[in-house]
Structure 1
Amino acid sequence: MSKVFVLDTEKRPLDPIHSAQARQLLRNKKAAVFRRFPFTIILKESRADASVSDLRIKLDPGAKITGIALVNDSTGEVVFAADLKHRGFAIRDALISRRQLRRTRRNRKTRYRKPRFLNRTRSEGWLAPSLMSRVHNVETWVNRLRKFAPITAISTELVKFDMQLMRNPEIEGKEYQQGTLAGYETREFLLEKWNRQCAYCGIKDIPLQIEHIHSRSKGGSNSITNLTLSCEKCNVKKGTKDIKDFLKKDPTRLQKILAQAKKPLADAAAVNATRYKLLEVLKSTDLPVECGSGGLTKFNRTNQQLQKTHWLDAACVGQSTPILIIKGIKPLLITANGHGTRQMCRTDKFGFPNRYVPKLKFIKGFQTGDIVKAVVTNGKKIGEYIGRVAVRSTGSFNISAQRGLIQGINYKFCKSIHKKDGYSYSS
């Protein structure tokens, strides 16, 4: 598992330590738990042997999941890893739903309402809320980890795919675009676009070849819209045949391939739309920021024969990547859930109010979303429960524990172990 973060008596970050050392310090009452996620302890007295080594935080921004890794550049050791799951698409769906409800209200037989589409101006560099949420998630965790670890540098993947390089492999001015690395840009784009499987038979987890949908001998181009992935068997079988002749017995797959070839990569578009905003946010931390491409990340990962995961991609970002030591690392899985909603009235699917929400969020010092530990000593529900709490104004709470939903737990049995922060965690 990842190492445990340590703070000194002044809440300054020290070198992360092994979990066994942390348990020993807690057992001997030389330290206390400062935070549960990520697990952090704080020393009760100063230590003369406390050391501080510079760490680099490395990011692999994604549309759905961003990989995070803390790497010691001098030793190559990965001391912490996490996969941060965004809620951008959930925000988009919520905005679409709200817009539809608003439009239905306008179409009812009510008084005339003047259109309001010109009274809201957008500032320069404005991004949609679904995109900005990704930037805010990464910013939150960079700032949070800086409080718990001695981070002195940042590495991030600025571009997933270098479109200029794919159009013109002879482009100059970037060192990483020369030599064997150039092919990784096109191949990585196609792997993402075609879901890492053969377009013709759907087979996965085998070596795939780049294949021309319309063959070069029949006038097909090298454009990225004319390329797909194929297993060796299908590639040989298709040869120089026209794709319509090759798939005439499977018209459904034919239409799917032709549509997918023209379809832009939605996830890549989301990453590209936010990349410079994220870079601007990272530079505002006043730490040196190193940028790399997706092709370079794959090149580093392939050279070290590492698996394809989000946090390992993050560890392989940039030219500064050393020989990595990843033994025993288990990433923390972080999911962005948001902080709820301001709506005081909930509606059904038709937009009519069906229930109301109390104004008070905090009940007896707890709010919905807190992680609590409940030790019930009497009654029908005797036992120990750990999970997220849903509060009620009566003081009788529900706890979503690992064994299921436990209802009717009195607040007096509950003790908060992690306050609601907009994220959920699992290992």
Structure 2
Amino acid sequence: MSEGANREVHPVVFVLDRHGHPLDPCHPARARRLLAAGRAVVHRHTPFVIRLKDRSVADSTVAGVQVGIDPGSRHTGLAVFTGHDGSRAGRYAIRLDHRGALIRDRLTSRAACRRGRWSRNLRYRSPRFLNRTKPQGWLAPSLRHRVETTMSWVARLTRWAPVTAVHVEKVSFDTHALSAGRPLEGVDYQRGTLAGYEVREYLLAKWGRTCAYCGASGVPLNLDHIHSRSRGGSERVSNLTLACIGCNQTKNATPVQEFLNDKPALLAKILKQAKAPLHDAAAVNTTRWALWQALEATGLPVAGASGGRTKWNRSRTGAPKSHTLDALHVGELESVTAWPSTVLVVTATGRGTYARTVPDRYGFPRLARPRSKLHHGFQTGDLVRANVPAGKKAGVHTGRVAVRTTGSFNITTRHGTVQGIGHRHVRMLQRADGYGYATHSETRHRAAFPPPSEGGGLHAGGNR
């Protein structure tokens, strides 16, 4: 890999023309010069978008950008990049944190309350058995949320940047390549080396990137046969696990029951997990076609690839493991010349609740919420900046606000929550849109996920 391939660059600034149509993004320094010269105004705070006052699309040459998507159960990575002839340069990175688990838990709680009402001696209500039929392609709310939030951000990116194509990871691993190595729909790359990457990606996801026997993480991991081949073990994926080099050499061809004779709990856990399904992978596989169809409905060219190819691409470019870098490496590519130094973390927070009362542990109303969400011109979730001139909380505080009718607000910043800020010191930056925003450095993320040469990779050892 060339020296420029590991170069981290500043995230770009999105640019709109005077009519609100997207232009090619620009460097932050150029955006500052445009704002200082009065040629542009701030259109949006986060992500930062400027609007030119003296230029339109007709007066400009627009090269366009592409978007890569790495869908996941808890997080989805989105990368905006430019490139040609198989080379890509990352320009902007977004990690979208879903709230599907919270939706699932709340629906489970609501179902429990509903079943409780059925068992009580209440007034008679005729049975409603005919309303349980669901149309074909129906998705549970927790799954539909993942598709809708991802599509919402794809739509936003197309409004802020001239997107010409979308690359999406359709599956985490290719089940056809796992089972028989057969080509799928004429794609012959799944044979040979790449088929092995499909198996490894599956095992890394299933076993949590740790050694099954000692729990070591961040070290090179080998493929290990739970029941060794020399004793009749098969090559099926359900017979494969991950083992560090020490455990792999110590176990060798020893039967797993004998190797873990003094650890019956660990033995039972390994045998059970070997046949257990992947819940997060199941959620992604359930929503992949709904996301694919929604992307095709946008009218943009959409290309799909598997997680095995993404991992193969990262191994060739030497990039570390992260959701946004996976999105940058989706599909066919030859090299990656740069990626953003910081990642915008977007958390789905919702837009509040319809409930106007807060119940206690027994279900009785404990207090009432105000009927209006707007107080002193602000509502909970707005992005604000407070400039407090004096006192214990003196300083500038920027973050999401939680409002009170008294006018004493709480502001959640990247350093924590500051309580009791008077509304007179607060200035609006951006209205609440159902998401919370934060940034983190890609460099710190790389320290948590070292490249394969530093440990943490998956090797093909243990083929006994």
Coarse TM-score class (shorter-chain normalised): over 0.9
- Larger deviation: 195-204 or 405-414? 405-414
Of 39, 51, 56, 2:48 maps to: 39
Q: Does 1:106 align with 2:115?
A: no
Is the Cα–Cα contact under 8 Å of residues 68 and 328 in structure 2 kept in the other structure?
yes
**1:302 aligns with one of 312, 315, 328:** 315
SS of match in other structure, 1:417: strand
Runs of 4+ in 1 over 6 A off after TM superposition: none
Q: Tell me, what secondary structure is at the counterpart of 1:325?
A: strand
Q: Does 1:342 align with 2:354?
A: yes
Do the aligned partners of residues 285 and 328 (structure 1) sit closer, same or farther apart at CA in structure 2, a change above 3 Å counting?
A: closer
Alignment CA distance shift 1:255-1:164 (3 Å): same
1:54 corresponds, among 64, 67, 71, to 64
Measured in 1, the distance between the counterparts of 2:325 and 2:400 equals 30
1:355 maps onto 2:364 in alignment:
no
1:122 corresponds, among 134, 143, 146, to: 134
3-state SS of paired residue (2:313) = helix
- Residues 151-175 of structure 1: CA deviation (Å, up to 9, x unaligned): 0101001111111221112456322
Worse-superposed segment, 260-269 or 272-281 = 260-269
Q: Deviations over 1:240-293 (max 9, x none)?
A: 222111101111211111111111011110000000000000001001100001
Equivalent residues of 1:203, 1:231 under 8 A apart: yes
> Percent identity, aligned pairs only?
48
**Shift in alpha-carbon separation, 1:170–1:406, aligned structure 2, 3 A:** closer
Structure 1 Cα separation of the partners of residues 366 and 271 of structure 2 = 46
Q: Does 1:71 align with 2:81?
A: yes
1:418: Cα distance to partner? 1.3
Q: Is 1:235 paired with 2:248?
A: yes
Distance 2:347 2:78 in 1: 13
How far the C-alpha of 1:116 sits from its partner, in A, is: 3.2
The letter for the 1-side match of 2:386 is: A
Alignment match of 1:371 (pick from 378, 383, 387): 383
**Contact 1:6 1:42 (8 Å CA) reproduced:** yes
Is contact 2:69-2:327 (8 Å) kept?
Answer: yes
State yes or no: 1:275 paired with 2:307.
no
Residue 143 of structure 1 corresponds to 155
Tell me if the contact between 1:80 and 1:329 (Cα under 8 Å) persists in the aligned partners: no
From 233, 239, 248, give the equivalent of 1:226.
239
Q: For residues 136-159 of structure 1, give each alpha carbon's deviation from its aligned partner in whole angstroms, at most 9, with x where no partner exists.
A: 111000000001111010100111
1:392 pairs with 2:404: yes
Specify the SS of the correspondent of 2:308: helix
Answer with 27-36 or 387-396: which moved more: 387-396
Residue ranges of structure 1 left out of the alignment (5+ in a row):
none
Aligned equivalents of 1:404, 1:295: Cα separation in 2? 39
Confirm or deny: 8 A CA contact 2:91 2:339 kept in the other structure: no
Contact 2:176–2:182 (Cα < 8 Å) also in 1: no
Quote the residue 2:207 is aligned against: 194
Give me the whole-angstrom Cα distance separating, in 2, the residues matched to 1:327 and 1:66: 17
TM-score by length of 1: 0.94
Q: 1:391 to 1:265 in 2, by over 3 A?
A: same
| Distance across 2 between alignment mates of 1:241 and 1:405 | 55
Map of 2:34 onto structure 1: 25
Whether the 8 Å contact between 1:390 and 1:397 is mirrored in structure 2 is yes
Give 1:282-297 correspondences, 5 Å limit. 282-297=295-310
Does the CA contact (< 8 Å) of 1:101 and 1:351 recur in 2?
A: no
Q: Give the distance between the partners of 1:327 and 1:264, measured in 2 at CA.
A: 34
Q: Please tell me whether residue 11 in structure 1 is matched to residue 20 in structure 2.
A: yes
Aligned with 2:371: secondary structure? Answer: coil
Q: Could you give the per-residue CA deviations for residues 341-375 of structure 1, whole angstroms, max 9, x where no partner exists?
A: 21122223333321222221122331111011223
Match of 1:157 in 2: 169
Deviations 1:19-69 (A, max 9, x none): 111122222222111111111111122289844212111101011111111
Q: Note the C-alpha offset of 1:402.
A: 4.6
Contact 1:161–1:185 (8 Å) recurs in 2: yes
In structure 2, what is the Cα distance between the partners aligned to 1:11 and 1:39? 14
For residues 422 and 183 of structure 2, the distance between their equivalents in structure 1, rounded to whole angstroms, comes to 67
Query: Contact between 2:169 and 2:305, CA under 8 Å: does it hold in 1?
Result: yes
**For residues 342 and 205 of structure 1, what CA distance do their matches in structure 2 show?**
45
> Deviation at 1:105?
2.7
Pair 1:351–1:225, CA change in 2 (3 A): farther
Give, as a single letter, the amino acid of the residue that structure 1 aligns with 2:248.
N
Counterpart residue identity of residue 54, structure 1: G
1:89 and 2:98 correspond: no
Q: Distance in 2 between matches of 1:192 and 1:401?
A: 33
How far off its partner does 1:387 sit? 2.1
Moved more, 162-171 or 130-139: 162-171
Q: Is the 8 A contact 1:79 1:329 kept in 2?
A: no
For CA contacts below 8 A with separation 6 or more, give which structure has more relative contact order: 2
- Amino acid paired to 1:12: H
Distance in 2, matches of 1:234 and 1:375, equals 57
Let me know the Cα RMSD of the aligned residues.
Answer: 2.0
